[in-house]
Structure 1
Amino acid sequence: MATYLIGDVQGCADAFSALLDALRFDPTHDRLVVLGDLVNRGAQSLQSIERLMALGDSAQCLLGNHDLHLLAVAHGVRKAHRNDTLDDILQSPRRAELLDWVRSRPLALMEQGWLLVHAGVLPQWSAEKTLQLAAEVERRLRAPDYVDFLRVMFGNQPDEWSENLAGFDRLRIVVNTLTRARFLQATGPHAGRLDFHHKQASANGASAELQPWFALPQRRTAKTPIAFGHWSTLGLHWAHNALCLDSGCLWGGTLTAVKLPPAGQPWLEVTQIPCDRSLAPMTD
């Protein structure tokens, strides 16, 4: 039995199938976790979801920012972007079933001692706190009136964590952190503040003041290995006990899987499949 972590699929169903073939993935014995952004921008969003759904309990999938965008577009909360590839889902006769499946996905998981998220965590959060906050959002997304939450979910504020945050402000910063975070304010009285303007591939920081979320020394999850996606220009990257697995399949890079090692073993077994380029390189 093996457990695999896979980076952002983003509608690249052919590459996903090729990666499973390369892994010799056996759904009767093996498990996989896809780290969010299951759909959009690639040409096969519907096929990607259908393949993942067909894997049943052997596949777990996190919610990414593109998956939340799908839900918002489907309910008229947001307008479709020019490069969206969501029409095959939205026009499917199984549309309601597909959307319900997407909104029931988690925002964070623990797997064999690894914390798994789509984008990042804040330095004030422990692994346990991250899972607790993710569960708060998950309950709201799974509620019958979840469209009301979608209407207030988007926006860049608040951008600093406080235990005093409540209501939609609290849920919004959790969503933004888990699905959008890259750089944080690293120093000064606002250390830990989210920055949504810098997206370049820089594991060394955008400036002395802005650092990747995983590089902040005060991070409470520093001793917990974390795997994430979202940062395609960073690519396959391991530093500060954090592993980025979005290697830019959509942009003609690769789709990456990592086999989690047995307990006590230090190595990671990496498998990558080259991808056809769907769009010119971007940073979202």
Structure 2
Amino acid sequence: MATYLVGDIQGCFDDLRALLDTVSFNEKHDHLYLAGDLVARGPDSLSVLRFVKSLGDHAHTVLGNHDLHLLAVAEGFKKPKAKDKTQPILDASDRDELLHWLRQQPLLLHYDKRNEIAPGFVMTHAGIPPCWDLQNAKHHAKRIEKILRGDDYRWLLQNMYANEPTHWSNELEELEQYRYTINAFTRMRFCLKDGALDMACKLPPGQMTHGELVPWFEVTPRQNIEETLVFGHWAALGGVVNRHLMGLDTGCVWGGALTMIRWEDGQRYSLPCPIHAD
């Protein structure tokens, strides 16, 4: 049995299957952890959802910003983005079943089986804000997950869009807390040096001219999390892997590569991809 971690699929189904074939992925014994954004700009988001769902307990995915956007579009709260290719999902005969399944997925996964590589890993789509330790991160993730899985999920999907607040506080109104949580887990890239979220900049860190912005994982001080932080979302990083971080989005949909890591030994697999996004 092996545990594989893979970055943003974004509807690139054939690339995912090709990468899994290179490691002879066994759907009955191996486990696949996906860093969110299963859908959006690639050619076959419908097949990605069907396949990941079909893996049952052998697939574990967190929600990304594109996944949440699909749910909002399906409820009529948002219009599809011009470059998204998710209409086949909305037209599918199993649409409701797939969207219900997607809505049950978490914002955060904690894999606490220790090995010689690291104590364990925590996976979210974008990262964990510097003001939260693991206990707080899990608590706030569960608050959102409970709503999405319950009867009031439409209210949250309708009201989750905003770039504010940028700072966490226990004094925030409830909806503001939900917005901060969703932004931190699914949209965050840069922060100001005081830890405030910046929702605008998408550049690689090396191209930054704004000295006040730093990658979320370089903010100091930040709460200590012993586990390796695994995330996607930020293709411009080009993938980053060290003792404390695994950035798995290497831009498959943009003509980069699809990247997967076998957790047990740290072996990295990367498959060059054609450009799928318009």
TM over 0.5: same fold?
A: yes
**Which deviates more from structure 2 when the two are superposed, residues 196-205 or residues 7-16?**
196-205
Q: Which amino acid aligns with 2:263?
A: L
Q: Which amino acid aligns with 2:266?
A: L
TM-score, normalising length: structure 1:
0.92
Distance in 1 separating the partners of 2:210 and 2:165: 22
Distance in 2 separating the partners of 1:12 and 1:85: 11
- What does 1:262-273 correspond to in 2, within 5 Å? 268-273=266-271
Q: Which amino acid aligns with 1:139?
A: K
| 1:23 alignment partner in structure 2 | 23
Q: Which residue, 105, 119, 125 being the options, matches 2:132?
A: 125
| 2:116 alignment partner in structure 1 | none
Displacement of 1:208 in angstroms is 2.6
Secondary structure of the corresponding residue to residue 122 of structure 2: strand
**Contact kept? 1:183, 1:205, Cα under 8 Å:** no
* Shift in CA distance, 3/162, structure 1 to aligned 2, threshold 3 Å: same
| 1:259 alignment partner in structure 2 | 262
Distance in 1 separating the partners of 2:101 and 2:18: 24
Distance in 2 separating the partners of 1:204 and 1:217: 21
**Which deviates more from structure 2 when the two are superposed, residues 162-171 or residues 55-64?**
162-171
Is 1:140–2:170 an aligned residue pair?
Answer: no
Q: Which amino acid aligns with 2:276?
A: S
Distance in 1 separating the partners of 2:223 and 2:209: 22
* Shift in CA distance, 240/271, structure 1 to aligned 2, threshold 3 Å: closer
Q: Which residue, 154, 162, 171 being the options, matches 2:178?
A: 171
**Contact kept? 1:205, 1:212, Cα under 8 Å:** no
Displacement of 1:279 in angstroms is 2.2
Identity across the alignment (%) = 40
Secondary structure of the corresponding residue to residue 20 of structure 1: helix
Displacement of 1:217 in angstroms is 2.6
* Shift in CA distance, 181/240, structure 1 to aligned 2, threshold 3 Å: farther
| 2:156 alignment partner in structure 1 | 149
**Contact kept? 2:52, 2:59, Cα under 8 Å:** yes
Uncovered stretches (5+) of structure 1, i.e. residues with no partner: 262-266
Distance in 1 separating the partners of 2:262 and 2:243: 19
Distance in 2 separating the partners of 1:122 and 1:16: 29
TM-score, normalising length: structure 2:
0.94
Q: Which residue, 262, 265, 273 being the options, matches 1:275?
A: 273
Secondary structure of the corresponding residue to residue 177 of structure 1: helix
Distance in 2 separating the partners of 1:224 and 1:13: 30
Q: Which amino acid aligns with 1:181?
A: M
Deviation per CA, 1:119-154, whole angstroms, max 9, x where unpaired? 021111011211111010000111112111111111
| 1:42 alignment partner in structure 2 | 42
| 2:8 alignment partner in structure 1 | 8
| 1:80 alignment partner in structure 2 | 80
| 2:32 alignment partner in structure 1 | 32
- What does 1:154-233 correspond to in 2, within 5 Å? 154-186=161-193, 191-202=194-205, 207-233=210-236
Q: Which amino acid aligns with 1:154?
A: Y
Distance in 2 separating the partners of 1:16 and 1:4: 12
Aligned residues: 271
Distance in 2 separating the partners of 1:126 and 1:206: 30
Secondary structure of the corresponding residue to residue 227 of structure 1: strand
Uncovered stretches (5+) of structure 2, i.e. residues with no partner: 114-119
Q: How well do the aligned residues superpose, as a CA RMSD in angstroms?
A: 1.5
Distance in 1 separating the partners of 2:274 and 2:100: 30
Secondary structure of the corresponding residue to residue 115 of structure 1: strand
Displacement of 1:249 in angstroms is 0.3
Q: Which amino acid aligns with 1:10?
A: Q
**Contact kept? 1:33, 1:59, Cα under 8 Å:** yes
| 2:253 alignment partner in structure 1 | 250
**Contact kept? 2:7, 2:34, Cα under 8 Å:** yes
| 2:104 alignment partner in structure 1 | 104
* Shift in CA distance, 123/6, structure 1 to aligned 2, threshold 3 Å: same
Displacement of 1:169 in angstroms is 0.9
Displacement of 1:221 in angstroms is 3.4
Distance in 2 separating the partners of 1:142 and 1:166: 21
